[in-house]
Structure 1
Amino acid sequence: MRARHTLLTSVALGALLVTAAVAPAGATQTADAPPEPSLTVALDADGDARVTLVSTFDLTDESQQVAFDDLRTNETARDAYRARYTDRWASVANETANRTGREMAVTNSSLALSRTNSTGVAAFSLTWEGLATVEDGLVTLDEPFASGFDPDRQFVVVPPEEYQLESVSPGPAISSDSRLVYAADADLDGLSVVASTTTAPAGTPAPSPTATSVGTTGGSGPGVGAIGALVALAAAGLLAGRRG
């Protein structure tokens, strides 16, 4: 199963983790189903975004459960992982800023770990300042996701609060006024999501999957390759170096 990964693989890779919608470290185990692995970009009207990566891990082995629970209660270790991967996302933001000519920065990162039965959930979240462009009441998300980004999990885009989707390309698997959900392995080449401050009449449907893109750039960029690598790292080695 692609979405669930062996927890203690790849000691050398370490761990990148991300999101805000799961229980914080130390939370009580619940009987609820774990969330689906996802990468979510929640846009703000000023072009900033809250980027959240959710990864799940198989904890059927007792030693894996012990290791995961140990990390949940070890604030020093969690802070070290959070700082390490915040720096890596910041590097991606810097590369993207250099290519696009826009000012960008990564701030306010957080890491949350929780466990649902035999599944561990890692949620790493950060604010990416200047990720989207803002002009004439339009917020546009494209780079670095428009150039060769191939998600290995759901990719979700959430427009700013009280904004409506104006143009979407390529079309997602699921769309609504509140979010776009792209399936794992979706082809996002040329991604463009444009949201407008204009309020749509009640009952207006979201843009069709064939909506015309706005402001995209083609080709392959270093930022997107780095994002893919970061997502892979998150899935590969959450507890790397903590075996035994």
Structure 2
Amino acid sequence: MSQQYTLYPLLPHDTPALYPIYSAAFSPTPFYTLVFPPSIPASTMYSWYTRRISLQLQKPQVRGFKIVTAENEIVAFARWNFPYVPDTREKEGEVEGEGDEAQKEEKKEKEETEDDWPPGTNLTLTTAKFGGLDGMREEWVDPTRDYVCALLAVHPTHQRKSLGKRLLQHVLNLADAEGRRVYIEATDAGYPLYKKLGFEQVDVLPIDMRKWGVEGLGSNIIMIREPVLKS
């Protein structure tokens, strides 16, 4: 009997179950090993990632979806930034004014906590990659109009079962219904699937891995999918 999988929204209480999936999906790659050396304890990585995801899910534009088995085990998940227009109060918070220093300081502390990395992380490489990707999003994404797939992870024991496609297609259907674009940062492994789903390459962020003793480029391919209009 084949395994049954169901898609649900990702909820805050799901966060403790996500790091094992994230680690299993990405730790075999040279980039992950360079960024997070084996010297970093697994418990430290778990605490860091769980806190990071918890903070991200508190943002109003962030949505997540999970795939669970019949035994209620989460085996894949995706984190998205949905189109979001700040309300008047949020916009006013960005304006300098009397009495807003405490609010700005609180916001700064939260951002620093979220952007923190576990001790032992290769900060040079994280800056090159994630700083570069931030720049790509600023160039290509209108956060008030576009959907952004921020992360997609499928546990290796459940790969090649179309779970990644299912997580993507769920939001692609929403984007098509609203006539919106979708942005994703592809690795070489994910590129063929995204291409089949209608994404097109618009840019690339190359990371020269030779600086860290690994041959080749650790590239992220910037892809955008235009909405598919239903007849």
TM tier, shorter chain?
under 0.3
In the superposition, the TM-score normalised over structure 2's length comes to 0.28
Query: 1 or 2, which has the higher strand percentage?
Result: 1
Query: 1 or 2, which has the higher helix percentage?
Result: 2
In the superposition, the TM-score normalised over structure 1's length comes to 0.26
